[in-house]
Amino acid sequence: MYERLLKTIGNLGAPKILVVGDFMLDVYIFGDAVRISPEAPVPVLKVTETESRCGGAASVSADIVALGAVPLCVGVVGQDANGDLLKKQLTAIGADLCGLVDAPERPTTTKQRLIGLAQRRHRQQLMRIDQECTDPLPEAICQEVLQKYREALDQADIVCLQDYDKGLLSPTVCKEMIRLAREAGLRILIDPVHSQDYSKYAGATLLTPNRCDASTAVGFEVCTPNDAAKAAQQLAESLSLDAVVITLDKDGAYLSAGQVREMIPARARNVYDVTGAGDIVLATLAVSLAAESDYLTAAHLANIAAGIEVERFGAAPVTASEMIHEIADQYGARNVKLRSLDSLMEEINWRRSRGQTIVFTNGCFDVIHRGHIEYLRFCRAQGDIVVVGLNSDSSVRALKGPERPINSQFDRAAVLSGLETVDFITIFDDPSVLGLVKRVKPDVLIKGADWAGKGAVGSDFVESYGGKVMFAPLVQGKSSTATIEKIKAIQAGEAEA
């Protein structure tokens, strides 16, 4: 399973996911709660920070972006400041908003949470203030949403509905969306509302109720894996579903998909906040299945993503990189080369305790060429363990411009992982590598010969504790930029011909 999970994560690509549902704005007001009001026995919140995040179907969209896919957003927002802010946030992350419809007579659904901190620590939600209208949408707006949905179906690889019962996904609209998706040959995944009647979801591909939702829908308490199996079978048969994933909080998730019926256990965690767990499950299933994953692998990945999510405060996207590190940790894959910084430091400390010499270098390693190979061979000859700090996609863009990198950070890491000269790789976001050098504290820091005499980043720090700084000879005429320019020139010549 370990190799299958990593392979799936590495091949997610950039599918287009049609996200329909209740788009919300989550607002967090943080403050110090250090005294009780003299007016009433309530805490006084001295505001220190206000933060806005994507919520509801917008949270699903943000999760989809974090996994490298593209969300096509279909839903409604109010014509108000919160609606403008939500659209601005979705635009900033790269979501497609062509399917969002303005509803003049209703507010953008907004959940405002007051968060108290004792001495700026120990976050605790004191109150939630909801601004919303859950009345059914006017018929004209429903028809406009359905038209946007029809248009988006032509671009989508898969469809997911996030139903928070805020007036959009009425039985009529929901049934029509399922019909249209099936007619278009697309699978449709649904995170259902808490309800005793799931009939409006009949004919969907997959349903993802949590333990409480499933218990209400089937009429009995889902406590054990056997209960989950019974509930999943009942839902699949009564609603003509291909698959059901019942999330079981600390116990994991239960999958029923044809002949595949499996309990997927959860890793023991310190649960901080369950907000957003359902969103990340729906997003991960959608992206994985759109990338042609099987149900079992997709459910395992969704379970892992939800586990990462609940250890955070509020709804926060989980990246593919974080999932790779989590998979490595869960499956005890000590031979995995790509590591989170924390995992890398554990490995380095263990290696140092055995007297091994740590060699560190960094770079973009975008289009691997002979110069890279010779450079890394030089690194290997200088010590026992070679650690490569790999610039993330965002830091490469900051250094080399918007057209770079050619290959994603995970593809670049995969290529480096295949080289015997490289032992470990960690991805870093900062355009400067100094912070990473200070954490790794290498015995040998290696830079290219073009850095000699220029004050290579991190050299002063390494030399301050007796470490060595070395400059590797370069292979003349070999660079990623030169290779890319040569390819462009060839393509231009072919176009002219």
Q: Hey, which residues are catalytic here?
A: 279
Residue entry with tokens 């799936």: 8
3-state secondary structure 308-336: HHCCCCCCCCCCHHHHHHHHHHHCCCCCC
Contact 254, 290 (CB under 8 A): no
**Token output for 391:** 């610039």
Sign of CA dihedral 313, 314, 319, 323: positive
Beta strand segments in 144-251, E: 158-162, 188-191, 206-207, 243-247
Q: What CA–CA distance (Å, rounded) separates 312 from 336? A: 25
Q: What CA–CA distance (Å, rounded) separates 140 from 50? A: 36
3-class DSSP state of 138? coil
Whether the upstream peptide bond of residue 405 has omega within 30° of 0, thus cis, is: yes
Contact 216, 197 (CB under 8 A): no
Contact 449, 369 (CB under 8 A): no
Contact 258, 270 (CB under 8 A): no
Sign of CA dihedral 292, 277, 178, 22: negative
Contact 146, 18 (CB under 8 A): no
Contact 257, 161 (CB under 8 A): no
Q: What CA–CA distance (Å, rounded) separates 70 from 200? A: 27
Give the Å distances, CA to CA, from 71 to 84, 207, 222. Answer: 18, 19, 32
Q: What CA–CA distance (Å, rounded) separates 313 from 51? A: 12
Q: Within 13 Å, how many C-alpha atoms sit on residue 52's CB side?
A: 15
Amino acid in position 293: S
H or E element in which residue 124 lies: strand 121-131
Q: What CA–CA distance (Å, rounded) separates 240 from 235? A: 8
DSSP β-ladder status, 243-247 and 253-257: antiparallel
Distance, CA of 4 to chain centre: 18
Q: What CA–CA distance (Å, rounded) separates 399 from 402? A: 9
